[in-house]
Chains A and B, each alone.
Chain A
């Protein structure tokens, strides 16, 4: 089995779908036979302020379920970036929503991918898939799972009335993957 030890914090405004992003990673990890823990923030700060969740994905048994020092952060807005960028491990990766984060001086010991996921989501016709664009960007930056593995999770999660959203979400995922591919060059 692959040797994996990933610790990611996903953060944004309540309503941006950050909890779902984390859950999709944990669902996929479970399907892939990996160990995983998903922890949400569940304080009053979820009302209007920042919401976040932490996800650990590991090929080993997971001891501490909490993530004081993430390898990766996904910041869907500026308050989230300000809160979690200082915690990021040196050499870690920050994926940021560049539509809501402007004029920010990043640490020089981390890798940053800027993803205009709001504008991209609107061009796909639905602002709500900004999170899945970001998830695609995350996937391309970490190569944690094959894109098909995430799509399999979509098929499991989006059932009944939501099944019609699968194609849109797959397109969003692909768009996010492309953004990071381009920034790599």
Chain B
């Protein structure tokens, strides 16, 4: 199959089906509605489950139930809806249930607006729910990268027995771009779900119980340490990023998602003017790709975090560079998408500052 023009939300829905999704549970919210709309038509045609739940809280708990029974499950929502799902996500992490959550981000806080945003960064990477847990999270920049990651995420969720979140801003959900749905991807081999509560206890000879309640603190600590081991494995194996023109860079922009694409345009113009700008583009946002910031060339004087939020990702850049370089910031909030010219102006003002110092 060649490239087809698809809307982001619909492409993600089709990618989920291709990734082996058995069931979808969700509740409507802009700007991701085309995703459940597409699945409401296509899942039943394939003998798969589609449920529009009565609320986001119900939807995530249906995900918990279906995942517990061993199904490959998906839910999708947008920022305030994801906030409502956080309790269920924490329970899934505690019970070690796989599941995929697509978050098409809009401006916040509260009900906020419906225009594109990246202000869920802390909600995603720090966990909106309770307890020591993490959600494996990816923030792709194009529809092609998005569909590939959605497809792969089901096997990643199964492999780690952990929720996986795909975080895109509203623009990626709403825009159309040519995509190839059947590109080869590296899927992890999913282990057999011998833990699933799927009605086969007689065959198995033991009853599988899926709970996150554990009243003995020593047992619960042991469980937490087991989870930590898994998170360390993710930190070792799942840091994903792209380094762009960093080898001779004087300034390195750090940006993800649509913001990274806009930064690419800015970098192209800056390079044409002789300003050596480069970019580190996180693809995984948890684990944050700290590895990308090790052994940067000595030409680099400054990092510049650029976000559609107000400095949330910058904190991870600061932690990664650990005081070795200054980390500047530029961002817009509330659904405003920065233009390349704004990034160019910011870079020039920083470079100008360097010259004054010399």
A: residues with CB less than 8 A from B are 23, 26-27, 30, 35-40, 42-43, 62-66, 68
Which of B10-18, B193-201, B256-264 lies at the interface with chain A?
Answer: B256-264
Knowing A30-B5, A63-B262, A68-B341, the reply to whether A42 touches B176 (Cβ < 8 A) is: no
Partner of B114, one of A38, A40, A42: A42
Assess whether A39 is in contact with B178, with CB atoms less than 8 Å apart: no
CA distance A65 to B339 in the complex (A): 10
* Min CB gap A155→B, angstroms: 15
Q: With a CB–CB cut-off of 8 A, which chain A residues contact B265? A: 63-64
* Min CB gap B117→A, angstroms: 13
Within 1-48 of B, Cβ neighbours of A (below 8 Å) are at 3-5, 30-31
Q: With a CB–CB cut-off of 8 A, which chain B residues contact A37? A: 175-177
Q: Does B337 contact A (CB under 8 A)?
A: yes
7 contacts between A and B (CB under 8 A): A26-B176, A35-B178, A37-B176, A38-B177, A39-B174, A62-B261, A63-B265
Within 162-179 of B, Cβ neighbours of A (below 8 Å) are at 170-171, 174-178
* Min CB gap B164→A, angstroms: 25
Assess whether B171 is in contact with A65, with CB atoms less than 8 Å apart: yes
Q: Does B268 contact A (CB under 8 A)?
A: yes
Q: With a CB–CB cut-off of 8 A, which chain A residues contact B61? A: none
Q: With a CB–CB cut-off of 8 A, which chain B residues contact A63? A: 261-262, 264-265, 268
Assess whether B262 is in contact with A42, with CB atoms less than 8 Å apart: no
Q: Does B340 contact A (CB under 8 A)?
A: yes
Interface of B is mostly: mixed
Partner of A42, one of B174, B177, B258, B341: B174
Assess whether B31 is in contact with A38, with CB atoms less than 8 Å apart: no
Q: How large is the interface on B (under 10, 10 to 19, 20 to 34, 35 or more residues)?
A: 20 to 34
B: residues with CB less than 8 A from A are 3-5, 30-31, 114-115, 170-171, 174-178, 258, 261-262, 264-265, 268, 337, 339-341
* Min CB gap B216→A, angstroms: 51
Knowing A39-B171, A42-B31, the reply to whether A64 touches B264 (Cβ < 8 A) is: yes
CA distance A62 to B141 in the complex (A): 11
Q: With a CB–CB cut-off of 8 A, which chain A residues contact B175? A: 37-40, 65
Q: With a CB–CB cut-off of 8 A, which chain A residues contact B31? A: 42
* Min CB gap A125→B, angstroms: 30
* Min CB gap B166→A, angstroms: 18
A27 to chain B: closest residue by CB: B5
Assess whether B176 is in contact with A66, with CB atoms less than 8 Å apart: no
Assess whether A40 is in contact with B174, with CB atoms less than 8 Å apart: yes
B343 to chain A: closest residue by CB: A64
| Seed contacts A42-B30, A43-B115; 7 additional CB < 8 Å A-B pairs | A23-B176, A30-B5, A40-B174, A42-B174, A63-B265, A63-B268, A68-B340
Q: With a CB–CB cut-off of 8 A, which chain A residues contact B114? A: 42-43
Knowing A66-B337, A68-B339, the reply to whether A38 touches B176 (Cβ < 8 A) is: yes
* Min CB gap A26→B, angstroms: 6
* Min CB gap A37→B, angstroms: 5
Q: With a CB–CB cut-off of 8 A, which chain A residues contact B258? A: 65-66
Knowing A26-B5, A30-B5, A43-B114, the reply to whether A64 touches B176 (Cβ < 8 A) is: no
Assess whether B5 is in contact with A36, with CB atoms less than 8 Å apart: yes
* Min CB gap A84→B, angstroms: 15
* Min CB gap B10→A, angstroms: 13
The 8 closest A-B pairs by CB, nearest first: A63-B264, A64-B265, A38-B176, A63-B265, A64-B262, A30-B5, A30-B178, A68-B339
Q: With a CB–CB cut-off of 8 A, which chain B residues contact A40? A: 174-175
A44 to chain B: closest residue by CB: B114
Q: With a CB–CB cut-off of 8 A, which chain A residues contact B4? A: 30
* Min CB gap A8→B, angstroms: 14
